[in-house]
Amino acid sequence: MKTTLMVILLGICISTPALAGEVVEHDTAWGRNCYPSQDSYAIKLKNRTGHPVDFKVCLERKSGKWACYVSSNVYPGEVEPSSWGYYVCHGTGKAKWWWRDAGAYSTRFPRP
């Protein structure tokens, strides 16, 4: 089985330009978490590939550190997370994400 790892920086694919499908930014929000902070940043991603994938998303904090989350076995058309679970307090608005075929654990996700 061929395993593919795609890299996304700030919502722009830096892999092959003509992708059959991809994991894309579905929605973002400022200030929904970490009350009373207005600089919390949250993101949802959507699987637009034709098969289940695992993905990792990392969000940058103003301190320069990254908070990372992993979702496994996300089906085509599915949006993750269903709530506003991927978020950071004091965020910069920068996000990076990567995906691979679901269960392809030999393909390691990079660090941001």
Structure confidence by residue, pLDDT tens digits, 56-72: 999 999 999 999 999 99
Please, which residues bridge with residue 66 across strands?
Answer: 60
pLDDT at 18 over 80: no
Please tell me the predicted confidence (pLDDT) of residue 38.
86
Distances 110 to 21, 70, 107 between C-alpha atoms, Å:
21, 12, 9
Kindly provide the residue ranges of all beta strands, DSSP E only, lying in the chain, ordered along the sequence.
6-9, 12-13, 23-30, 41-47, 53-61, 66-74, 79-80, 87-88, 91-101
Query: pTM here?
Result: 0.76
User: Of 3-12, 45-54, 63-72, which range is least confident?
Assistant: 3-12
Please tell me the predicted confidence (pLDDT) of residue 8.
42
Confidence of residue 21 (pLDDT cuts 50, 70, 90): low
Q: Name the residue ranges covered by the structural domains of the chain.
A: 6-99
Please tell me the predicted confidence (pLDDT) of residue 93.
93
pLDDT at 74 over 50: yes
More confident residue, 79 or 21: 79
